[in-house]
Structure 1
Amino acid sequence: MTDKELRQLVIDELEFEPSIDAADIGVAAEDGVVTLSGHVADYVQKTAAERAAWRVRGVRGIAQEIEVRLASDKKQNDDEIAQRALSILAWNTTIPSRDLRVQVSRGWVTLSGSVNWNFQRRAAENEVRKLGGVTGVTNNIKLPTEVQARDLKQRIQEALKRHAEIEAGAVHVDVRADGTVRIDGHVDNWSEMQAVERAVWSAPGVRVVEDNLIFH
């Protein structure tokens, strides 16, 4: 597939996705790496555009350069965004909100604190992303540091084997004592890569994932 063909496929996918106003999004492609530029009206559309681009066969990497430009009537004060973020985190019973802190600067939200599970870390970020006035999110929420590398590796390998969409034999897992997990090997598509990452993150004690998977 040529860069021109890949670029057009990404453009078509962005225009097909109903949650995105793609009129002001630019697309460039070079050697399988797609660059998304331009601007959208909210952070939800920015993340949706990246997900849409990943769905296109042939995309091997994405450079995300889309800006969030809020209309003047939708801009909110940072203290209002912070208060709403704290409220939405408190409403989600799966998130230990008392252990989290929220900082907002020009609409950009930084989350910090600690949780026991990665799904809680991701849930906190996903909840804040939904808020109007948010231009970006930095997730600095930490996970537990103590981990038994051998036990963690076994749990991850078992999780990979349970997933029907993953060819577990093609994925190699290495776990370090600090909770960093390196995954190598090959997958058939982006969906399988995402499934591998989800399986790895589902194991308790995983703090960092170094994804070195490659597509066939």
Structure 2
Amino acid sequence: MMKTDKEVQKDVIAELSFDPAVNQAEIGVEVKDGVVTLTGHVSNYSEKWNAETAAQRVAGVKALVIDMDTVLPELSVRSDADIAQSVENILRWKTFLPENAVKIMIENGWVKLSGEVEWEYQRLLTIEAIRHITGVTGVSDNIKLKPKIGSNAIKAIIEAALNRRTRDVSQNIQVAVQGSEVTLSGKVLNWSDRYLAIHSAWNTPGVSNVKDHIVFTN
């Protein structure tokens, strides 16, 4: 049975309260036609990211709108130059990326990333490392993946991965590949199935972009 908006709102609030990395009292939750809007002010970017992730875990959430601000406590405010130094250090210590693979630009605490890496896990590891740095108010990810293999091979690898993991998802997801860009379409029951499909596409060598056209069944 499909959840009502009030039921989705109640479950999102409960999930935010359940997550120890989130201060639910700082976050408002509004729901209309299954679209959840998170509002309020959080004290760091990591908490904002965790709130978004928590909301996505809730069944019945069709889309997520983020209207939260990151308002740093006075002791956490740092200059862009200080943040840049911390970003460079943590990338060197934790990611082991080739030198100059990722370019960094910072404006008012917001980190903008660009460049090219070989694998999707390297891109995710870079973002994961940065979002915990004191003073960071947000992250824009423009890192690209270097293409490695042809379109037909990419499509076959993604479809095989989906089929290995769950036939229910593989039978309802269509995979289209143009160059190094993958488009996923079809219907799934929940966020977990959608994440599985997207994760399978991003983990395929040669994929530089994934377009998500997956919808939820009613």
Specify the TM-score bucket, using the shorter chain as the normaliser.
Answer: over 0.9
Residues 166, 195 of structure 1: 8 Å contact kept: no
- Which residue in the other structure is 1:167 paired with? 169
- Which residue in the other structure is 1:92 paired with? 94
**What is the 5 A alignment of 1:1-216?**
1-145=3-147, 147-164=149-166, 167-177=169-179, 179-216=180-217
Residues 57, 189 of structure 1: 8 Å contact kept: yes
CA shift, 1:94, in A, is 4.5
Residues 148, 205 of structure 2: 8 Å contact kept: no
The 1:11–1:165 alpha-carbon spacing in structure 2 relative to 1, beyond 3 Å, is: farther
CA shift, 1:164, in A, is 3.8
| Amino acid paired to 1:41 | S
CA shift, 1:165, in A, is 7.8
Percent identical among aligned pairs is: 39
Provide the C-alpha distance between the structure 2 equivalents of 1:83 and 1:94, rounded to a whole number of angstroms.
Answer: 16
CA shift, 1:145, in A, is 4.5
Out of 93-102 and 51-60, give the one that drifted further: 93-102
Out of 191-200 and 144-153, give the one that drifted further: 144-153
Out of 157-166 and 168-177, give the one that drifted further: 157-166
Out of 189-198 and 144-153, give the one that drifted further: 144-153
The 1:68–1:139 alpha-carbon spacing in structure 2 relative to 1, beyond 3 Å, is: same
Extract unaligned runs of 5+ from structure 2. none
TM-score with structure 1 setting the length: 0.94
| Amino acid paired to 1:42 | N
Provide the C-alpha distance between the structure 1 equivalents of 2:99 and 2:62, rounded to a whole number of angstroms.
Answer: 36
**Runs ≥4 in structure 1, deviation > 6 angstroms?**
none
Count of aligned pairs: 215
The 1:5–1:93 alpha-carbon spacing in structure 2 relative to 1, beyond 3 Å, is: closer
The 1:68–1:97 alpha-carbon spacing in structure 2 relative to 1, beyond 3 Å, is: farther
Give 3-state SS (helix, strand or coil) of 2:52's partner.
helix
CA shift, 1:130, in A, is 1.3
Provide the C-alpha distance between the structure 2 equivalents of 1:97 and 1:34, rounded to a whole number of angstroms.
Answer: 40
TM-score with structure 2 setting the length: 0.93
CA-to-aligned-CA distance 1:12-53 (integer Å, 9 cap, x gap) = 211121111121211100000000011111111101111111
Residues 8, 31 of structure 2: 8 Å contact kept: yes
Give 3-state SS (helix, strand or coil) of 1:82's partner.
helix
CA-to-aligned-CA distance 1:102-122 (integer Å, 9 cap, x gap) = 111110001111111121112
